[in-house]
Amino acid sequence: MLAVQADNTEVTTLEGLTGLGELSVIQEAFMEEYGFQCGFCTPGMILVTKALLDENPNPTVDEIEQALEGNLCRCTGYEQIIESVLRAADLGRKQRAR
């Protein structure tokens, strides 16, 4: 997307997910499940995960794969990323239950 296409819209960046110095549940899950290596794709993967979990807090592996298909990762082979999304969904459910 070109920047001009985002005119008059709200854009959330990785830094905007939480307060200063805090990690979101999704960021914690990516750290716990090693869903990153070089870090190049990580912000996009995390933001796609947030959008997915906002719409569907309990996605299947197929739904996760579909959501992530627009992001390219050359390092992890996606297995750890998918595990990270599943972990984030689990952590989110536990957080909502409190």
pLDDT at 37: 86
Distance CA 24, CA 40 (A): 19
Q: Does residue 40 belong to any structural domain of this protein?
A: yes
| Residues 73 and 47 sit within 8 Å (Cβ to Cβ) | no
pLDDT per residue over 31-51, tens digit each?
Answer: 999 998 888 999 999 999 999
Residue 18 lies in a domain: no
Tell which wins on pLDDT, 85 or 18: 85
Is residue 75 included in any domain, yes or no?
A: yes
pLDDT at 75: 85
Confidence at residue 64, expressed as pLDDT on a 0 to 100 scale: 97
DSSP structure string for 50-65 = HHHHHH-SS--HHHHH
Q: Give the contacts of 56 (CB within 8 A, at least 6 positions apart).
A: 63
Residue 77 counted as domain residue: yes
Query: At CA 54, angle to CA 74 and CA 19, rounded to 5?
Result: 80
Q: Of residues 66 and 37, which shows the higher confidence score?
A: 66
**Element (DSSP H or E) covering residue 85:** helix 79-97
Distance CA 46, CA 54 (A): 12
Range of the domain at 57: 35-98
CATH number, domain with residue 65 = 1.10.150.120
Does residue 16 sit within a domain? no
Instruction: Give the chain's domain count.
Output: 1
- pLDDT at position 19 over 90: no
Q: What is the mean pLDDT of residues 54-75?
A: 94
- Arithmetic mean of pLDDT, 52-81: 93
